[in-house]
Structure 1
Amino acid sequence: MKRKTTILLVDDHVLVRAGIRSLIDQLDDFFVIAEASDPDAALHEVARHVPDIVVTDITMGAHSGLDLVRVLKAQYPQVATIILSMHASEEMVTEALQLGASAYLLKESAPAELEIALNAIVRRETYLSPQVSTKVIERFVRGPSAEQKQFQSLTARQLQILTMIVNRKGTKEIAFELDLSEKTVAAHRAQLMERLGVRDVVSLVLLAVKHGLVGAG
């Protein structure tokens, strides 16, 4: 009997995981071996099962799926990763690929795309949703703009805080969710404004909206 490709699902929404599992259960060659609600739990499950593929969201409360991709690439290079997110900005897609993600799917994608991506990974290929692949190709052709270069220089933590600011979370709420001091969050915000060349939070939010950071998934 042919061995099934094992998959770990990582998302902080139980219903989302259930929906993805339901889709995968219909595929003959793939099997969901475990689930996790955040990167820490995911690493525990990876250590237990060493799945072939990890399907992960990017933003999970105070956690970043990109940090998970980074750790998996370093500690479990044989484990492929699929990003499944609402977030379609060029910057986030590029960072995910640079960190070692094998595929990037949007949550609005047709269900059949998940099977296509899984089969591509089995063939050791990379797969991008058409909506994001077009952006990546266009960016490659024209080269990054000055603003895009500024965003590329941000760390995963800075992007995470920026996304939370755009989603109308205050300093105290961000500090609580990320287990940081309010002073540290304020310092990150000041660094973001300096690096992106804006003078106030409103301009910071407007710039982030322009680059698709609203509603990051």
Structure 2
Amino acid sequence: MVDFRGLSGKLEVVRWPRTKDEERKPISLHITSLEYHHDRVVAANCHSRVWFGQLGAEDIGHVGSANMFLGKILRGCWVSQMVAFMAHQLRIQLNQGARSGRDPAEHLRRSQRFGAALYAWEQSEEPFSSGQFDKLFLGMADASEPMRLPAPSRSNKARSRFAIEIYDAGLKGDETAVQAVASQNSTWPFMLGEAMRHTREGSVTDREWIGAIARN
């Protein structure tokens, strides 16, 4: 699949292993090794460069294709990475009860109850909808047994303002900017930045990128 004969190497794109879902994306087998030896930013940037520069990524030639790409990134990467991050943090908070002197039997019962609710939330199609949040937090509380885990704060920031922040973070690609819009260890902002940089100048304007982000 990789031919190193001659003066320049060649990728055999047709035979390259791909994911089994409907998108059939090329599998970058070395990305995990890069993240282990360097960090997630290096790995994410390399993955994006290979995907957009060498293996025939979507041609983002107009705002319609940009909107489709953003849907894949935000729903396929952002949501899944945020769900994983929040679920991990909530389990940490729950496990702190076992070290706070609480009765072990009570802690086990509450852990099982909350674990089932958390799993259902992780598997839901719209985990960040108000309804799903209420099921996870408000639905776990009753008059005799209030929920001890604080629900995450909700922002009233306008979608357009947040879209601008996401756009800026993607272009800058530095940790400070990314941490303002994404959970810890997220890789989607770096993939978004590579997509913007690989889009031909004039094909999609800054305003069109921001508008597409806001719609998604």
TM over 0.5: no
The TM-score normalised by the length of structure 2 is: 0.26
User: Max radius of gyration: which structure?
Assistant: 2
Higher strand share goes to which structure?
1
Structure having the higher helix fraction is: 2
More relative contact order in 1 or in 2 (CA 8 Å, sep 6+)?
2
